[in-house]
Amino acid sequence: MTDIGTAPPPAPLAQEEKKGFLERLGGALFSPDETFADIARRPDFVAPLVLLLIVTISSAIVVVPRMDFETMMRDNLERSGKNLAPEDADRMVRVMSASAKVIGYLTPILAVVIWSIVAGVLLIAFKLFGGEGTFKQAFAVTLYAWLPQVISGIIGSIILVTKGTIDPTLMPTLVRSNLAFLVDPKTNQMAFAALSSLDIFTIWTVVLLIIGFAHLSRMSKARSATIVISLWVVALFFKVGAAAIGAANAKAAAAAS
């Protein structure tokens, strides 16, 4: 029987050693299982949030001025079937284009809202199925899981600089990481919405969310995958449904005119 009084203190487990921020960045992308286990134990969100905001703000500065909002708005107005005087149409196009640019520059704020919603919805879903976790853990996991989207955004910004301008509706095809470039978003909105969602970087993010939430909720990866993928499918359903409604409205407007 071991003499407790003379036994040396247990050595700290290697897995309990906290990873630094740079280690977590690389680890979240290339060794996610170990890294997200560490993030779940000691969640941090300030550093990844600052990084994501810097990249998002930089992307907005590069991308927004190169988006041809005016042509997009004019096309939308024509498809709506509204019979406006030329001067009224021009004024409406200018107002809508300016509004779209403002929204584009507000992307960093909208991104924080989206990350918070994703973290909150996933946390609630996991708790409903008996999982553990706090919002701080969920938010940290969500931010690190969003890194593939950051990579996609950086690549897209570089490509856009070389292209000059682009129709905003074609932004999902800027990085050829999905098959949406095979269809015309103006004539086949549902297929475009579905194909643009089946994106390599999006799937990568979903996989990271599965691993991260499995660790923070203390549930199996199989159950985590079921919850995360189910919610992703629901989001995809709404996205395709919105595209279907838009296409139906455009057809109705064209028939009426």
pLDDT digits (tens, 9 = 90+) for 6-61: 433 444 444 456 788 999 999 999 999 999 999 999 999 999 999 999 999 999 99
Rounded to whole angstroms, the Cα distance separating 5 from 231 reads 53
pLDDT given for residue 57 in this prediction: 94
- Residues 149-189 have pLDDT tens digits of 999 999 999 998 888 888 888 889 999 999 999 998 888 88
- Residues 64-103 have pLDDT tens digits of 999 888 888 887 777 766 777 778 777 888 888 888 889 9
Place of tokens 């709404």: 238
Provide the 3-class DSSP secondary structure of residue 67: strand
Q: Residue 253 — very low, low, confident or very high, per pLDDT cuts 50/70/90?
A: low
Q: Residue 256 — very low, low, confident or very high, per pLDDT cuts 50/70/90?
A: low
- Residues 193-215 have pLDDT tens digits of 999 999 999 999 999 999 999 99
Instruction: Please report, rounded to a whole number, the percentage of residues in the chain having pLDDT higher than 90.
Output: 59
pTM flag (> 0.75): yes
pLDDT given for residue 169 in this prediction: 87
Q: Is the pLDDT of residue 231 over 90?
A: yes
Average pLDDT of every residue of the chain: 87
Alpha-helical (H) ranges within the chain are: 21-30, 32-41, 46-63, 69-79, 86-105, 107-128, 135-145, 147-163, 189-197, 200-217, 221-256
Instruction: Please report, rounded to a whole number, the percentage of residues in the chain having pLDDT higher than 70.
Output: 88
